[in-house]
Copies of this chain bind each other. A is one copy, B any other.
Amino acid sequence: MDAEALRLASLTQGAGPSSGGVRVRLDLGYDGAAFSGWARQAEGRTVQGELEQALATLFRGRGAAPRIVVAGRTDAGVHARGQVAHLDLDPAQWRHLGRMGHGAAAETTLVRKLNGLAGAAGDVRVHRATPAPDGFDARFSAVWRRYEYRVADPGAAQDPLARAFTVWHPRPLDAVAMDAAARLLAGPGLADWAAYCRPRAGSTTIRDLQSFAWTREADGVLVARLQADAFCHSMVRALVGACVAVGEGVLGTADPLALREAGGRTSAFKVMPAKGLVLTEVGYPPPEELAARARQTRGLRSLDPDE
């Protein structure tokens, strides 16, 4: 399926489950190291591809294989702890899960089967499946995404057990300056992040960066925590790169904000590696606001992949 067909499939799914069917919310996590990102591709192992293959196996001969819509389409190598997705099951598929479970709830059986079929390597794990409230759309109902980025400089514990999700930086970083730069960049309200986004045809770079801060944890590791309505492509890693340049003294604390205001792409900082980045949580409004939020988001944002 090409990119355009994927977009159309995503739009169609936004319409809700078929009559009598069930929209299921999935909460899941993955180690991005061995994945070519979330989004299914013709070549390469992807999280969406593994899960949709598992669904196709599970429902073979029982209607169309379900497609998965995700809150944050992470890039190759990016991890997730609190990723959210949805899929629509038709009534026959839902009943099939019920029968397979020998008394267990259909959603419990779905989790067990997905982890059995897609989770053998241990690097993707479905935590929960729950029938979604009316109007829920994993992508378009979301009101915010949270990410963390971890950097261990020489002043931090460079722990081999955390090396899969921590960037080891060879030079000392000034956490106080980095935090000051981050706070200058954060909200309130919408701004144009073109300087921090890899451009994509037809996509907007207007986003609301609601919070951005750096802390040096007890073990010395520098952790960035960011929240936005959504992030455009490579935005988190570019923002982290700008702050690392501040932490090294290459940029001043006000420079990352000045670069955003200047617009256009810049070589003043590096986009940081994917391995330090984890999608930690996705926020949704109360059930009665889900449908309105989805309609509003579809109107405001184009269908570009979010990171």
A positions within 8 Å CB-CB of B: 29-31, 79, 81, 122-125, 127, 157-161, 163-165, 168, 278
Known: A163-B122, A163-B123, A164-B164. A157 touches B81 (CB 8 A): yes
Q: Which residues of B contact A168 (CB under 8 A)?
A: 122
- CA A223 – CA B123 in complex, angstroms? 21
A207–chain B nearest beta-carbon distance, Å: 26
Shortest Cβ distance from residue A274 to the other chain B in the assembled complex, whole angstroms: 13
Interface of A is mostly: mixed
Residues of B within 8 A of A123 (CB): 160, 163
Listed from nearest, the 3 A-B pairs whose CB atoms lie closest are A31-B160, A122-B163, A123-B160
- Check B160 against A30 for contact (C-beta < 8 Å): yes
A23 to chain B, nearest CB (A): 24
B160 touches A161 (CB 8 A): no
Determine the distance from Cα of A75 to Cα of B157 in the docked complex, in whole angstroms. Answer: 23
Q: Do residues A125 and B31 form an inter-chain contact, with CB atoms below 8 A? A: no
Contacts of A278 in B (CB 8 A): 161
Compute how far the CA of A168 lies from the CA of B168 in the bound complex, rounded to whole angstroms. 28
When chains A and B are docked, how far (Å) is the Cα of A267 from the Cα of B158? 39
Which among B81, B157, B165 is the interface contact of A127 at CB below 8 angstroms? B157
Q: List 13 A-B contacts (CB under 8 A).
A: A29-B157, A29-B158, A29-B160, A81-B159, A81-B161, A122-B163, A122-B168, A123-B160, A124-B160, A125-B159, A127-B157, A127-B158, A161-B164
